Amino acid sequence: MTLQKIVSVIGSSSVDAKVAKIAHEVGVAIARRGYLLACGGLGGVMEAACKGAKSAKGTTIGILPGSQKSDANPFVDIVLPTGIGLARNLLVVLAGDGIIAISGGSGTLCELAYAWQFGKPIVAIVPSGGWAQRFGGQALDDRRMDKIEAATTPDEALDILARLMK
């Protein structure tokens, strides 16, 4: 049996129209390539990416920090309420075979660190700003030679991730 690949999308919980458009396009690209989309299940990048995936007939997974399924954005197919707060960031990262970072604040920074520590392939969409812009093309620390990959478009991000996912 071959397991379907999961791409975890991480990013800001509140976004402007530019970042929402990028996240939506990422969701579309994930679904068109036959991957499942996992995220934190709430608003901002998470909602826009899920909406994009749904528009392309994809499947979305929301790993919520709280215990109420009703907190999920309306584009999440599989809702996983954890009740563990921000610790759910680790679950979002571990669920993915690869990670795409879009914009991002402190929660995204936490997820980037987890992804780095667990050796997950990470692609940052640099024009989205935030931590994705700061770390795209950079190493997170000096203990390894690899870098967080930088992409300028959603399709480029998925091309890179497809090559890196095992």
Topology at the third CATH level for domain 6-164: Rossmann fold (3.40.50)
In the predicted model, residues of the chain with pLDDT beneath 70 are none
Q: Supply the pTM of this predicted model.
A: 0.97
Q: What is the structure's pLDDT at 115? A: 97
DSSP 8-state symbol, 120:
-
Q: What is the structure's pLDDT at 55? A: 98
Residue 36 tokens read as 């499942």
38: buried, middle or exposed (CB in 10 Å: 19+, 13-18, 0-12)? Answer: buried
Ordered by start, the domain boundaries in the chain are 6-164
Partnered with residue 139 across adjacent β-strands are none
Query: b or e along 106-129 (b: 16 or more beta carbons within 10 Å of the residue's beta carbon)?
Result: ebbbbbbebbbeeebbbbbbbbbb
Q: What is the structure's pLDDT at 71? A: 98
Residue 98 tokens read as 């690869």
